């Protein structure tokens, strides 16, 4: 039976720090879906010690003026003074072809850390996602194997990520035209 709501893919999204309990729960559920169910990288949960200190960022589908669901997420944390990391970038399967969500999550992650004094921003990026990060002004520092998969240790060029001081409010992004 056709479900019109399941077939609906929003065209507007809010990218922001997860400030509500439902946003944090949605981010955790999306991560489990992508990293545990789809990719088989972890058992039943991908949570680790970083979740206690990391800031989750979400992409919310917008239904008119109301937030619908968490359709993308990433987390950031300050490893040491001025050195930040991003990790667990995930976009819901039905929203990967939207074309703006991964880049928008990365933009808010780096720009919000930059506003908080970041001088170096790093991530371990799965090899298949390296071209996206190169387009977004990241450079590969080296290759490594994490969770049985090839990754690149990458660094963002902060010159392309101006400080964004209001990540709790975030910004709107639109679905890329087909």
DSSP letter (8 states) at residue 101: H
DSSP letter (8 states) at residue 105: H
DSSP 10-28: -SEEEEEE--SHHHHHHHH
- Using DSSP's 3-state secondary structure scheme, residue 145 falls into strand
- What's 10-174's CATH class? alpha beta
Q: What percent of the chain has pLDDT over 70?
A: 90
Lowest mean pLDDT among 2-11, 15-24, 102-111, 159-168: 2-11
Phi and psi for 83 in degrees, rounded to 5? Answer: -110, 115
9 versus 120: which is more confidently predicted? 120
Residue 69 token pair: 């669901």
At which residue do the structure tokens 């065209």 appear?
A: 11
Burial of 65 by CB count in 10 Å (0-12 exposed, 13-18 middle, 19+ buried)? exposed
Whether the predicted pLDDT of 9 surpasses 80 = no
Per-residue pLDDT band for 3 (boundaries 50, 70, 90) equals: very low
Per-residue pLDDT band for 67 (boundaries 50, 70, 90) equals: confident
Q: What is the mean pLDDT of residues 2-20?
A: 72
Whether the predicted pLDDT of 7 surpasses 60 = no
For residues 133 and 54, what is the distance between their CA atoms, to the nearest angstrom?
21
pTM of the model: 0.91
For residue 10, the model assigns a pLDDT of: 66
Residue 94: which residues within 8 A CB-CB, separation 6 or more?
9, 71
For residue 5, the model assigns a pLDDT of: 45
pLDDT digits (tens, 9 = 90+) for 125-144: 999 999 999 999 999 999 99
């Amino acid at each position: 039976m056709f479900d019109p709501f399941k077939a609906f893919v929003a065209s507007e999204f809010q990218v922001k720090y997860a400030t509500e309990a439902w946003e944090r729960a949605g981010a955790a559920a999306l991560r489990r879906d992508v990293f545990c169910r789809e990719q088989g990288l972890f058992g039943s949960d991908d949570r680790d010690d970083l979740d206690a200190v990391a800031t989750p960022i979400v992409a919310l589908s917008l239904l008119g003026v109301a937030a619908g669901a968490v359709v993308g997420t990433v987390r950031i944390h300050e490893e040491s003074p001025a050195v930040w990391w991003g990790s667990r970038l995930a976009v819901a399967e039905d929203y990967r072809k939207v074309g703006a969500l991964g880049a928008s999550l990365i933009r808010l992650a780096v720009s919000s850390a930059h506003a908080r004094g970041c001088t170096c921003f790093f991530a371990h990026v799965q090899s298949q996602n390296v071209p996206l990060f190169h387009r977004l002004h990241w450079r590969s520092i080296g290759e490594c194997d994490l969770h049985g998969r090839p990754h690149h240790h990458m660094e963002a060029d902060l010159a392309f990520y101006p400080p964004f001081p209001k990540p709790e409010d975030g910004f709107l992004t639109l679905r890329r035209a087909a």
